[in-house]
Amino acid sequence: MNRRTFLQVAATAPAALASNDRKIPKYKVVSPFQPAPRPGMPGLFPGRAASVHAEKCIDVQSEKPDPAVIREMMARGMRALTGDKDTRDSWARFIAPSDVVGIKVNCSGAPGIMSTPQVVAEIVRNLAAVGVKPGQIWIYERFKSQVDSVHYDRFVPPGVHIWTAETDRGETDGYDPSTFVETTFFDEEDTRSNLVRLVANTFTKIVNVPNMKDHGAAGVTGCLKNIAYGSFSNVARSHSGTVTNTYSFIGTLAAVEPLRSRTVLQVMDGLRGVWHGGPFSESRKFRCYPKRMLFGSDPVALDRLLLDIIDGQRKAEHAISVWDRSPQYVNPSGGHDRNPNVNSFVREPGHIEYAAHLGLGVYDLDKIKVASLEV
């Protein structure tokens, strides 16, 4: 733990993944942390997922979630993932009473879309059921203004921490100076992205709670992007003009220790979703309602399923595929917020396969086992 580790991550990725228009930057990863014997990603259940659909989990007109249905979805999903008969046993596979647990929410689209407070509250309730005290639970995100708009404090017990790395944009006190990824994308002055301080110094386990969202640069925002870009500083620099480095940067960040080893569970909140214009959702024009939750320890497997969900919705809306990288549809000057056939960047949904080659999970659909349930 006292030895500083330097890894040239780009050198470990197969050269075949880099095509002529995907030049992989050189990354220097600096971390004093060693991986756990079994890292949390892909974790206890690589290549396995539970998918739970419930028609009554949210009212589409009011967007009001049903806590009782969410509770049943989570209980059945966790048991389907682990094979346990008792939901507490399922949670106990990942979390011990002594753990300090970070819950990585996604609030970048709040208040239009975010990790649903009722979903987060049910996660907190299950943590308490296995003996984790409220003071050992931290709901965390990067930006205070986004989190404040959600009001998680109204849904969780007193004592649960709600913490953000940046009260004002650009603050650095919330990040660990000794754990970072260094690279230059566009000759920017600040070439480092530092890990959230609490991930490095406080949490022993992390539960990742992404949404089902389209993303103009990465293709989708799922497990990988939420835990990577949501746990490091200075990440927006990865895309500029029409060019994005999300293809390699997302997986590189997610693989950094101790983030990789401590992120043990993925609970994808798909009550609501965004099929275009993500990660934001300022209007309901591009919002959808999958009414589904995905459970797993493998972020790559869940994100691979998410690709088909988002692309299927785009197809139903007669929009170009999330895989379409044609320059004719790219306009950095705007229009993507009105027209689903306009992209701000050349999308990089391939970041999920890239992460698989870094050892973060299973990408091949034929090798992903999905338990599908209806509530």
Confidence (pLDDT) at 240: 84
Q: Of 148, 152, 183, nearest to 168 (Cα)?
A: 148
Q: What is the pLDDT of residues 64-90, one digit of tens each?
A: 999 999 999 999 999 999 999 999 999
pLDDT at 44 over 60: yes
pLDDT at 105 over 70: yes
Give me the half-sphere count of Cα atoms (radius 13 Å) on the Cβ side of residue 33.
22
Residue for token digits 């998680």? Answer: 152
7 pLDDT band (50/70/90 cuts)? low
Residue 320 Ramachandran class (φ > 0 left, ψ -120 to 50 alpha, else beta): beta
Q: Are 237 and 339 in contact (CB under 8 A)?
A: no
Sign of CA dihedral 143, 229, 138, 103: positive
Strand partners, 28: 182
Cα–Cα distance for residue pair 284/277, rounded to 1 Å: 11
Cα separations in angstroms, 259 against 113, 114, 179, 235: 25, 22, 10, 16
Written in H, E and C, the secondary structure of 301-325 is: HHHHHHHHHHHHHHHHCCCCCCCCC
Cα–Cα distance for residue pair 124/127, rounded to 1 Å: 5
Mean of the per-residue pLDDT values of the chain: 93
Other beta carbons within 10 Å of 15 = 8
For range 301-326, the mean pLDDT: 96
Confidence (pLDDT) at 21: 61
- 89: buried, middle or exposed (CB in 10 Å: 19+, 13-18, 0-12)? middle
Provide the 8-state DSSP code for 153. G
Confidence (pLDDT) at 15: 46
Q: What is the pLDDT of residues 118-176, one digit of tens each?
A: 999 999 999 999 999 999 999 999 999 999 999 999 999 999 999 999 999 989 999 99
17 pLDDT band (50/70/90 cuts)? low
For range 213-239, the mean pLDDT: 96
Per-position b or e across 60-70, b if 16+ CB within 10 A of its CB:
eeeeebbbebb
Amino acid 278 reads G
Cα–Cα distance for residue pair 303/60, rounded to 1 Å: 24
Q: What are phi and psi of 276, to 5 degrees?
A: -160, 150
Confidence (pLDDT) at 227: 98
